[in-house]
A and B are shown apart, each in its own frame.
Chain A
Amino acid sequence: GENVEQHPSTLSVQEGDSAVIKCTYSDSASNYFPWYKQELGKGPQLIIDIRSNVGEKKDQRIAVTLNKTAKHFSLHITETQPEDSAVYFCAASTSPGGYQKVTFGTGTKLQVIP
């Protein structure tokens, strides 16, 4: 099955600096890569996603890059703010049996220091 590795597990940055989280996946059939932000005691919220036919996607301060050859993708947050502090999960998705099955990375706890 799919295996998604995520690094680092914790990340502390000063407010205004950039944060980068990296993930690798194992299944070359994966074709959809969402990123989720999870605040304490809440469910994950989708913040950005990328499909396998695209190399980069940006939405304001958040960007995601995908390298299909190397099977890795990254989340970039620029001009970080204290409210960006949360746990971030990457995920990879395939379509076995006609439905999307999502495998999550291990999570990165981001702390933005004011």
Chain B
Amino acid sequence: GAVVSQHPSRVICKSGTSVKIECRSLDFQATTMFWYRQFPKQSLMLMATSNEGSKATYEQGVEKDKFLINHASLTLSTLTVTSAHPEDSSFYICSAKTGFSNYGYTFGSGTRLTVV
């Protein structure tokens, strides 16, 4: 079945540094990927929609200059948290739309980011 690989699973970084999270579709081409943020014991909040070869579409309230998204190929989207601060600590999850259906989504395993 469709598999989405997300790396790293955990990362700790210092305040002010940048962190890159990768989301890869392993056995299908994903023209559209989604990036979510999840706080402890809360639901998933959509941050942005990543479309291959074009600029990402950000949800209201999400800083595009802080959360840089690049979808340079049909199998890879990256989220870079720039100048990270402790309040950026969260669980980040990507998902990809499986190409053969307008309805199917597969999620990555998530990345736990801790900014110290």
Picked from A49, A101, A104, the residue with its CB within 8 Å of the CB of B49 is A101
- Contact across chains for B43 and A105 when beta carbons are under 8 A apart: yes
How many residue pairs between the two chains, A and B, have CB atoms under 8 Å in the bound complex?
54
B32: interface (CB < 8 Å): yes
Bound-state Cα–Cα, A95 to B32, Å: 13
Bound-state Cα–Cα, A10 to B93, Å: 23
Interface size on B, residues (CB 8 A): 25
Q: Which residue of B lies closest to A43 (CB)?
A: B107
What residues on A are CB-neighbors of B34 within 8 Å? 102
Q: A36-B107, A99-B32 are in contact. List 12 more A-B contacts (CB 8 A).
A: A42-B110, A43-B107, A43-B108, A43-B110, A44-B93, A46-B107, A89-B43, A95-B102, A99-B51, A102-B105, A104-B44, A107-B43
Binding site for A on B (CB under 8 A): 4, 6, 32, 34, 41-46, 49, 51, 93, 95, 97, 102-110, 112
Binding site for B on A (CB under 8 A): 32, 34, 36, 41-46, 49, 51, 89, 93, 95, 99-107
